[in-house]
Amino acid sequence: MIAVAVDGPAGAGKSTLAREVAKQLGMLYVDTGALYRAIGLYVLRCGVDPKDRTAVSPLLDNISVTMTHEQGNQFVWLCGEDVSGLIRTQEVSMAASQVSAHPEVRAFLFDLQRDLALSTPAVMDGRDIGTVVLPEAAVKIFLTASAEERARRRVEQLEKAGQPADFDRVLAEVKQRDEQDTNRPVAPLKQAEDAVLVDTTGETPEESLSRMIGIIREKIGSYLA
Ligand code: DC
């Protein structure tokens, strides 16, 4: 398996950086958060509280989630519907974080993630890729940045997507998601012992990118094109 695991809190720049790393190194980029988001969306549509484990678990029997990749772009399908755009709202972010705390949800998505990484060289981003999903990944990077910087970036991202957002509210949500993702009993967000810490606070994306490429080339350069 030639895999790069990129974990870290929301808004650390994982998706932008991991996507670019994959492009430069000719690997597949896999955003695993999108899978949890698809389940969050399904649960919201059913009118079920995403925090309610006993109500969420039986819904999994009705859900099919798949991913496809075309020219570096990832598409997520929920029961045959392309939900790639619909899962990018604040409401779905929060629901994804809440459903991701349920062991049944994590187990449901486990094989899909592993099978992808086993089938092709991949850069996979998430929360537990280096610790749980791909503990044998050749390279593990833990990407982080201060909560304020992450909130600022999220506001920018939402504005670009035509969804103006209030900084204080986004900061509160960033902190709430950190709290939820870090303190859940199953597969909590934490740095794997053998992961390299990359703190992107105050860095430009280009600086963080070149640090990441350097780390990866040092570890698995001889396997890469
Ligand atoms: O990366 P993201 O913001 O799209 O992820 C949405 C939520 O999904 C996040 O708050 C926690 C959860 N998640 C997870 O628990 N494990 C992963 N590997 C990826 C995401």
Nearest to 200 by CA among 185, 189, 210, 190: 210
pLDDT tens sequence across 167-194: 999 999 999 989 988 998 998 999 999 9
- pLDDT tens, 44-57? 999 999 999 999 99
pLDDT band at 163 (very low <50, low <70, confident <90, very high): confident
% of the chain residues with pLDDT over 70: 100
SS (H, E, C) 105-157: HHHHHHHHHHHHHHHCCEEEEECCHHHHHCCCCCEEEEEECCHHHHHHHHHHH
The pick from 4, 31, 32 for probing ligand 1's pocket by mutation, whose C-beta has the most ligand atoms within 8 angstroms, reads: 32
**CB of 154 sitting under 6 A from ligand 1:** no
What whole-number percentage of the chain has pLDDT above 90?
Answer: 84
CATH number of 3-217: 3.40.50.300
What pLDDT digit, counting tens, does each position of 96-114 carry?
A: 999 999 999 999 999 999 9
What mean pLDDT do residues 23-35 have? 95
